[in-house]
Amino acid sequence: MSPPLPTVRGVGPARVRMPGPGAPDPVLDALPGLPATAVEYVQRRFPDDAAWFREQVAAGRVLGDGGGVVTPETPYEAGVSVWFHRPVPDEDAAPVTLDVLHEDDWILAVDKPHGLCSTPKGENVRRSVVVAARCQFGNDEISALHRLDRSTGGVLLLCKHAEDRGAFHRMFQERTVRKTYWAVAGVNGRVGEDPVRVESRIRKIQGVVQAFEEPGEVNAVTDVRRAETFTDAQGRWGLYEIAPLTGRTHQIRVHMTSLGLPLRGDKLYPAPREDFDVEDPENPLQLIARSLEFIHPRTGQPVRIDSRLTPSRHAAATSGDNVTIA
């Protein structure tokens, strides 16, 4: 379904769909029946924004699926949606210019900077790769085909047109994309030049900042090898080549911590710091999505895309030693 409202400066409209009777829904669960109007449902679902939403309705800025204006009298109808533009919390954020690594008729690959969200989230809307790319390339259909944590830099693959998303999404769903990461962590006897495979069950609970391992069927597999070692003013470090075979949230950070090798610059593992959600551009997390390799679904040709970011750049630049990792 095409939204009845346009995308504005890379940010699309919000959509709220009215659930049917018996659907698991906190609003419906609290009422003896269905809400009388669409506006009542939205206000009950988002009570903190109820006054703001009333203003949007009064101004005629809320539309239904067919493009008609939603009024205070518009009846509640199961399966129907209302559309509106939410306030953009970082409206005045400085423009972001992305470094393009690959482009063809179907996809874009960019080097996601550390500290930038892959997709709009919370207080980071304009400061997200998807919104920045839509503005930079004048294409409101751009979407992310996978995600990187906000703290992680490196190769992020974007789809240019909505009709092509399915073909490229399937590569990730079927795990035919080879991903390689670079990371900097300490050195111990558990990981050397030969790859070590880590297998476990990782779980992430919404609202809990850390993911964790638990007993049960394996759902996360990571191969790790130490490519190089170096020493600087802060100690002895390893450059690790990491290949995640699955894609659980925080998988690399959890598995490296389980090996006794928490990543340099990680403020969330092994224990969250008070400022874990504040990005430090002077000391970024030393984790980079180094490369993606896949067979192009449209051309049938092999594609390899490499990041231009360098792990441990901060450590090497400030240590006083002439350390280079490339």
d(CA 159, CA 141): 8
Indicate the range of 2-6, 25-29, 93-97 predicted with least confidence: 93-97
Q: Domains of the chain, with CATH numbers?
A: 14-84 (no CATH), 99-306 (3.30.2350.10)
Tell me the pLDDT band of 319, cut-offs 50, 70 and 90.
very low
C-alpha distances out from residue 207 to 20, 86, 156, 211, Å: 27, 22, 25, 10
Q: How many CA atoms lie within 13 A of 89 on its CB side?
A: 8
Residues 6+ away with beta carbon under 8 Å from 93: 126, 127
pLDDT score at 109: 98
Residues 6+ away with beta carbon under 8 Å from 92: none
Q: Which of 284, 280, 224 is nearest to 251 (CA)?
A: 224
Active-site residue numbers?
149
Q: Strand locations in the chain, DSSP E? A: 14-17, 63-64, 81-84, 99-103, 107-112, 143-144, 153-159, 178-185, 196-203, 212-214, 220-232, 235-244, 287-295, 302-306
Pull the structure tokens for residue 267. 């403020």
pLDDT score at 73: 96
Query: Is 248's pLDDT higher than 90?
Result: yes
Average pLDDT over residues 94-116: 95
Mean pLDDT taken over the chain:
91
d(CA 191, CA 259): 8
Query: Is 22's pLDDT higher than 60?
Result: yes
Q: Return contacts of 55-63, CB within 8 angstroms, 24+ apart.
A: 56/84, 61/85, 63/4, 63/5
d(CA 170, CA 297): 9
d(CA 224, CA 238): 11
Indicate the range of 16-30, 160-174, 193-207 predicted with least confidence: 16-30
Q: How many CA atoms lie within 13 A of 263 on its CB side?
A: 31
pLDDT score at 125: 86
d(CA 122, CA 139): 23
Q: Which of 20, 27, 29 is nearest to 42 (CA)?
A: 27
Distance, C-alpha 304 to centroid of its chain: 21
The DSSP string of 256-283 is: HHHTT-PBTT-SSSSS--TTTTS--TTS
| Contact indicator for 276, 201 with CB cutoff of 8 Å | no
C-alpha distances out from residue 283 to 184, 266, 272, 286, 319, Å: 12, 9, 16, 8, 12
Per-residue model confidence as pLDDT tens digits over 274-294? 988 888 887 899 999 999 999
C-alpha distances out from residue 261 to 136, 256, 285, Å: 38, 5, 13
d(CA 270, CA 286): 15
Q: Residue 315 belongs to what H/E stretch?
A: helix 313-318
